[in-house]
């Protein structure tokens, strides 16, 4: 950027690159709509008002009747949950008005280590989307998970040396933080970190005080108004989340209506490609918020300036002199559908299409990530002599699960699925080092009555997770994932009904978003014929393997009681 020229344009002594006239311009600091002409130069907003005729020619856009707002910022997102390569992810987000994201790449970190994060940062260079990174603090999320390799404090420091790195990503090991674990405290004391994101599902009272006292400044896991209010009262930033399988926006919106938008921001956390493609990103949260009574101006603050303020992005979130010319032109303040989008003054979306995003290459070492030991039906057997067993109960629309106790279904000395009782088998298979380690259990809530479905997306260590009512179909699904090098499959009677290959670290497709969504649609249709009615079955499946979301989860090491933070047996003690 030539700042001297930018200043000259602001003075009115040189011609700008772009002039936008006629729009209502949002003032982030006063929540006013200004009838101002906006001038742009050197990728920045130069100022307001018509340039003098003496400066010469420049591009002009008449935006009469429209609204010019700052580019949207996602305050916390995992790119990998979109199942899209970063170039395609950028195309989708830009189309919906998001020009900056703050991401935690702990998915690819669990699969590929620090090399994966550095590769991700490298290929994000030059994208017309600002990708800011928080250094993944919990690889693995807990000692009950098995990633490619654990991260050290030195690993985090190496990430924080990158120019697009900010602070420490969500501290998911909240029991470790609250108890004062030396390992967790060492991460919090890294000097080069600007700030630390939180992850404190259901944590309140003295435990919350301890968590915040550790220096953690945000949380995106609140699911109720009361929980979010307690966290905000104690000084935390509350990031209102609307993910594919954790739709908390409407439950938390009263917090903003009653107390205003300060210290709150929007985030999508984990959104699957169909949600992004059809409904959008942060703009969808604006649309839903306004539809439920929030003032458009407050929604826009949550979507831009507030996220910038929390993360210390000093030149984003505002249409004003010297700020990045990241701007979205809206036709109305109800649909929040972008007519045009500029990234640093460059037009990147027009006519509903993203332009100027170049494809990124994927090296072989990033593709070759599935290394599980072979799994046969016998490996999935669960010896059991009857009695009550622990079962993971899905909570619809949430990442939280319950622990329920049911009578085991026994056949030939092993516990088996009981579709008539909505009892399916679940297994997590270690896939990074071919150890052959398998965690086995049971789950209720899917409604599965035949076949199996499986995925290499299993938060956060991303081992293979499979659910089924037939051991043969479960083994067939695992075998197909190994052949694909990662993905999602549905199997009935040993036949693969549909699949979505995810060859990039076993997490991402190298396909256009429309094809990814089409394949997901077909997978959902097949799962419906298998009895599954969940709106996001694969996201639900993937989070059953996350050992830091209460209450009962499963990893390759076995069943995890998250509340007590320990491995528990399948059988209930009597």
Q: Which of 360, 381, 403 is the last residue of a domain?
A: 360
Is position 263 within any domain?
Answer: yes
Beta bridge partners of 44: 41, 324
Report helix, strand or coil for 422. Answer: coil
The strand order across the sheet containing 452-455 reads 401-407, 388-394, 438-444, 424-429, 464-468, 452-455, 487-492, 495-501
Which residues lie closer than 8 Å to 264 by C-beta, 6 or more apart? Answer: 232, 237, 238, 239, 240, 255, 256, 302, 306
Which residues lie closer than 8 Å to 159 by C-beta, 6 or more apart? Answer: 114, 117, 118, 133, 135, 136, 165
For the chain, what's the residue count? 574
Q: How many folded domains does the chain comprise?
A: 2
Nearest CA to 445 out of 481, 388, 491, 399 is that of: 399
State the residue range of the domain holding 479: 366-568
pLDDT of residue 567 exceeding 60, the answer is: yes
Is position 11 within any domain?
Answer: no
Residues 436 and 494 in one domain: yes
Is position 411 within any domain?
Answer: yes
Residues 296 and 412 in one domain: no
The structure tokens 């994000």 sit at 124
Place 54 in a pLDDT band, splitting at 50, 70 and 90: confident
pLDDT of residue 414 exceeding 60, the answer is: yes
Q: Regarding predicted confidence, which is higher, 397 or 195?
A: 195
Q: Which of 294, 326, 360 is the last residue of a domain?
A: 360
Is position 48 within any domain?
Answer: no
Report helix, strand or coil for 188. Answer: helix
% of the chain exceeding 70 in pLDDT: 100
Nearest CA to 264 out of 291, 230, 289, 240 is that of: 240
pLDDT of residue 366 exceeding 70, the answer is: yes
Quote the pTM value. 0.94
**What is the biggest distance separating any 2 CA atoms in the chain, rounded to whole angstroms?**
91
Quick one: tokens of 95?
């189309």
Q: What local confidence, expressed as pLDDT, does residue 56 receive?
A: 80
Residues 342 and 422 in one domain: no
Residues 265 and 370 in one domain: no
Q: What local confidence, expressed as pLDDT, does residue 88 receive?
A: 98
What is the CATH number for 121? 3.20.20.140
At 258-276, the pLDDT tens digits run 999 999 999 999 999 999 9
At 120-177, the pLDDT tens digits run 999 999 999 999 999 999 999 899 999 999 999 999 999 999 999 999 999 999 999 9
Q: What local confidence, expressed as pLDDT, does residue 391 receive?
A: 98
Residues 166 and 252 in one domain: yes
Residues 346 and 397 in one domain: no
Residues 402 and 281 in one domain: no
Residues 175 and 322 in one domain: yes
Q: Decide: 476 and 491 in contact? Cβ < 8 Å.
A: yes
What is the mean pLDDT of the segment spanning 203-230? 97
Residues 348 and 456 in one domain: no
Place 556 in a pLDDT band, splitting at 50, 70 and 90: very high
The mean pLDDT value of the chain amounts to 96
Place 303 in a pLDDT band, splitting at 50, 70 and 90: very high
At 8-19, the pLDDT tens digits run 999 999 999 999
Residues 283 and 404 in one domain: no
Residues 400 and 314 in one domain: no
Residues 313 and 389 in one domain: no
Is position 443 within any domain?
Answer: yes
Write the DSSP assignment of 276-316 as a string of letters: HHHH-SHHHHHHHHHHTT--HHHHHHHHTHHHHHHHT-TTS
Quick one: tokens of 451?
């076949």
At 507-545, the pLDDT tens digits run 999 999 999 999 999 999 999 999 998 888 999 999 999
Torsion, Cα 49 51 52 54, to 10 degrees, reads 180
Q: Decide: 201 and 269 in contact? Cβ < 8 Å.
A: no
pLDDT of residue 337 exceeding 60, the answer is: yes
Report helix, strand or coil for 251. Answer: helix
Is position 289 within any domain?
Answer: yes
Is position 13 within any domain?
Answer: no
Q: Which of 360, 376, 394 is the last residue of a domain?
A: 360
pLDDT of residue 455 exceeding 70, the answer is: yes
Is position 478 within any domain?
Answer: yes
Place 574 in a pLDDT band, splitting at 50, 70 and 90: low
């Amino acid at each position: 950027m030539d700042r001297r020229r930018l200043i000259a344009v602001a003075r009115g002594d040189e011609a700008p690159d772009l002039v936008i006239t006629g729009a209502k311009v949002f003032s982030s600091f006063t929540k006013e709509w200004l009838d101002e002409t906006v001038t742009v130069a050197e990728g920045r907003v130069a100022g307001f008002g018509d340039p003098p005729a003496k400066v010469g020619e420049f591009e002009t856009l008449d935006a009469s009747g429209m609204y010019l707002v700052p580019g949207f910022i996602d305050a916390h997102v995992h790119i990998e949950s979109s199942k899209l390569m970063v170039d395609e992810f950028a195309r989708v987000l830009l189309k919906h008005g998001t020009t900056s994201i703050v991401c935690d790449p702990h998915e690819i970190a669990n699969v590929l280590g620090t090399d994966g994060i550095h590769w991700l940062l490298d290929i994000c260079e030059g994208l017309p989307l600002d990708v800011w990174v928080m250094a993944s603090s919990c690889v693995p999320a807990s000692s009950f998970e098995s990633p490619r390799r654990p991260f050290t404090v030195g690993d985090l420091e190496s990430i924080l040396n990158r120019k697009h790195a900010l602070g420490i990503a969500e501290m998911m090991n909240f029991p470790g933080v609250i108890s004062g674990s030396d390992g967790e405290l060492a991460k919090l004391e890294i000097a080069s970190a600007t700030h630390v994101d939180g992850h404190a599902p259901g944590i309140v009272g003295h435990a919350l005080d301890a968590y915040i006292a550790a220096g953690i400044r945000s949380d995106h896991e609140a699911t109720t108004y009361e929980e979010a209010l307690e966290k905000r009262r104690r000084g935390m930033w509350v990031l209102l989340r609307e993910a594919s399988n954790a739709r908390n926006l409407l439950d938390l919106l009263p917090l903003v209506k009653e107390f205003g938008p300060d210290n709150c921001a929007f985030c999508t956390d984990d959104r699957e490609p169909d949600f992004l493609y059809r409904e959008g990103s942060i703009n969808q949260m604006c649309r839903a918020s306004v539809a439920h009574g929030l003032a458009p101006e407050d929604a826009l603050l949550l979507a831009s300036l507030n996220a910038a303020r929390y993360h210390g992005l000093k030149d984003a979130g505002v249409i004003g002199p010297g700020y990045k010319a990241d701007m979205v032109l809206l036709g109305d303040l109800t649909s929040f559908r972008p007519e045009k989008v500029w990234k640093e003054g460059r037009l990147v979306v027009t006519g509903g299409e993203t332009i100027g995003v170049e494809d990124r290459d994927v090296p072989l070492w990033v593709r070759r990530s599935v290394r599980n030991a072979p799994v046969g039906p016998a490996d999935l057997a669960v010896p059991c002599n009857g009695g009550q067993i622990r079962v993971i109960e899905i909570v619809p629309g949430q990442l939280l699960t319950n622990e329920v106790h049911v009578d085991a279904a026994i056949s030939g000395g092993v516990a088996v699925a009981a579709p008539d009782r909505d009892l399916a088998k679940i297994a997590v298979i270690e896939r990074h080092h071919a150890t052959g380690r398998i965690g086995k259990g049971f789950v209720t809530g899917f409604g599965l009555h035949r076949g199996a479905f499986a995925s290499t997306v299993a938060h956060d260590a991303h081992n293979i997770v499979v659910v089924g009512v037939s051991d043969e179909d479960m083994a067939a699904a695992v075998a197909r994932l190994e052949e694909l090098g990662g993905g999602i499959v549905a199997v009935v009677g040993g036949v693969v009904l549909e699949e979505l290959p995810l060859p990039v670290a076993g997490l991402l497709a190298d396909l256009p978003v429309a094809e990814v969504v089409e394949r997901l649609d077909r997978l959902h249709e097949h799962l419906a014929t298998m009895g599954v009615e969940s709106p996001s079955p694969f996201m639900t499946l993937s989070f059953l393997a996350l050992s830091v979301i209460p209450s009962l989860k499963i990893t390759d090491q076995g069943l995890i009681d998250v509340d007590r933070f320990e491995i528990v047996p399948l059988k209930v003690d009597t």
